[in-house]
């Protein structure tokens, strides 16, 4: 039996299609290395995100395609990741961030910050480099939910050093003012503060920056869009039927600012608030429905205690939902960055 060749393996890998990008792994330059040792083929694959939801599918397809070659005794697949970059960001920021994700809601009380924090931590748990910027200037709750309240901010080279919790770097006006301070700022001051949270912070290199926007629509949304290119926006709503009205506000805001809408998340689904309002809103507004997070008292308890549920109860249905949402969002961003012509409900 003859030894299989690298050329044969590469040809076999040309039949393996990335399920989301719709192209084969070789054309996408995702196959970084192929090694053959006495019939054992090792394939090194670089994914577009460490949070790839279809990693196991890709691995199975690789094994099937290569195993069919004569002379192959075993197939080993090794993954790493190189997160796709929103090319519009180049030259616009003084920091090294690849993608900016805005999390918004049409009104308060829907758990928007809880969603933003758990998505950030879930992405970090998958191996991504993640930061979260608390743009909710009037109600900065990110420090509390990450267990960083009262944290003192250091300075390096004239810039603030963002504290880190659960693998996520965070910055918030809540680090800079006393907790009981009421900020009453007009638009220009608000705009200036949001720009400073981007440019006057010594951010490390990031794959994803989550921006937690204030509820409703207003100056913060405009300031964000004027300051940086936003890769995609997420709308958080609740299961009630009024979700359609609330989601529409968030959608219109993103539409006016030319921000691609990644989809709607239905939060707090269950017996108390019902199920389906967010999904119905997504269908009515013709945007993707990303999924729902079940109502769970431990989600609130984790937020209040500074331990997100993806950390405190990683096997709970709510934590599993957040991880699935994080993977789906990461995949959507990869599609958006690799195939700008793909219609990802850019509204």
**Tokens describing residue 204:** 């490390």
Give percent above pLDDT 70 in the chain. Answer: 89
**Mean pLDDT score, 178-191:** 53
What pTM, to 2 d.p., does this model score?
0.89
Sheet containing 40-47: which strands, arranged edge to edge?
31-37, 40-47, 74-81
Alpha-carbon distance values, 148 to 93, 116, 120, 143, 206 (Å):
26, 15, 15, 5, 20
Q: What percent of the chain has pLDDT over 90?
A: 56
Per-residue pLDDT reduced to its tens digit, 100-126: 999 988 777 888 999 999 999 999 999
Q: What is the pLDDT of residue 70?
A: 93
Give pLDDT, residue 315: 96
Of 189 and 77, the one with more pLDDT: 77
pLDDT at 186 over 90: no
pLDDT score at 270: 80
Q: According to the model, what pLDDT value does residue 26 have?
A: 95
pLDDT at 182 over 70: no
Domains of the chain are: 6-81 (3.30.300.130), 87-338 (3.40.50.300)
pLDDT of residue 346: 37
| pLDDT computed for residue 214 by the predictor | 82
Q: Which residue has the higher pLDDT, 319 or 220?
A: 319
Going by C-alpha positions, the residue among 146, 149, 141, 151 that lies closest to residue 113 is 141
pLDDT at 94: 72
In degrees rounded to 5, what are phi and psi of residue 133?
-110, 120
Q: Quote the pLDDT of residue 347.
A: 34
Q: Per-residue pLDDT averaged across 37-64, rounded?
A: 95
The whole-number pLDDT of residue 219 equals: 60
pLDDT range class, residue 249, cuts 50, 70, 90: confident
- State the pLDDT at residue 281: 85
pLDDT at 179: 60
Q: What is the bridge-based pairing of β-strands 130-134 and 208-212?
A: parallel
For residue 314, what are the CA distances in angstroms to 129, 277, 298, 310?
Answer: 20, 26, 11, 5
Which has the minimum average pLDDT: 43-47, 71-75, 149-153, 327-331?
149-153
What pLDDT, in 10s, does the model give residues 225-235? 777 889 999 99
Q: Name the more confident of 173 and 231.
A: 231
Quick count: other Cβ atoms within 10 Å of Cβ 151?
17
Q: Could you tell me which residues are beta bridge partners of residue 270?
A: 274
Q: Is the pLDDT of residue 222 over 70?
A: no
Residue whose token pair is 């040809």: 11
Residue 69's H or E segment, with its range, is none
Reported as a single tens digit per residue, the pLDDT across 258-311 is: 889 999 999 988 877 777 888 888 888 899 999 999 999 899 899 889 999 999
pLDDT for 342 beyond 60: no
Residue 343: pLDDT band with limits 50, 70, 90: very low
pLDDT band per the 50, 70, 90 thresholds, residue 250: confident
Residue 329, CA distances (Å) to 53, 271, 336 in order: 10, 27, 10
Closest C-alpha among 287, 239, 335, 265 to residue 119:
265
């Amino acid at each position: 039996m003859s030894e299989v060749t690298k050329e044969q393996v590469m040809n076999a890998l040309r039949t393996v299609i990335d399920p989301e990008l719709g192209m084969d792994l070789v054309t996408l330059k995702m196959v970084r290395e192929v090694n053959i040792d006495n019939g054992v083929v090792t394939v090194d694959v670089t994914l577009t995100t460490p949070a790839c939801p279809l990693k196991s599918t890709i691995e199975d397809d690789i094994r099937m395609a290569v195993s069919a070659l004569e002379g192959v005794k075993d197939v080993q697949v090794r993954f790493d990741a190189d997160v796709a970059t929103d090319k519009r960001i180049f030259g616009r920021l003084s920091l090294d961030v690849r993608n900016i994700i805005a999390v918004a809601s049409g009104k308060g009380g829907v758990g928007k910050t809880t969603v933003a924090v758990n998505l950030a931590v879930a992405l970090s748990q998958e191996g991504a480099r993640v930061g979260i910027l608390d743009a909710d200037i009037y109600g900065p709750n990110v420090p509390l939910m990450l267990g960083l309240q009262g944290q003192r901010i250091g300075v390096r080279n004239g810039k603030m050093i963002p504290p880190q919790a659960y693998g996520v770097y965070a910055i918030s006006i809540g680090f800079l003012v006393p907790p009981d301070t009421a900020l009453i700022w007009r638009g220009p001051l608000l705009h200036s503060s949001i720009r400073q949270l981007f440019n006057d912070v010594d951010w490390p290199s990031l794959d994803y920056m989550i921006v937690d926007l204030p509820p409703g629509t207003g100056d913060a949304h405009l300031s964000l869009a004027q300051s940086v290119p936003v890769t995609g926006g997420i709308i958080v709503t609740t299961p009630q039927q009024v979700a359609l009205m609330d989601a529409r506000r968030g959608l219109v805001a993103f539409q006016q600012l030319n921000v691609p809408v990644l989809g709607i998340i239905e939060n707090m689904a269950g017996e108390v608030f019902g199920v389906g309002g967010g999904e119905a809103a997504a269908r009515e507004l013709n945007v993707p429905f990303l999924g729902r997070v079940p109502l769970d008292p431990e989600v609130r308890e984790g937020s209040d205690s500074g331990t997100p549920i993806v950390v405190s109860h990683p096997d709970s249905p709510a934590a599993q939902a957040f991880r699935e949402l994080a993977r789906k969002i990461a995949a959507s961003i990869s599609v958006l960055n690799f195939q700008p012509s793909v219609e990802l409900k850019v509204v």
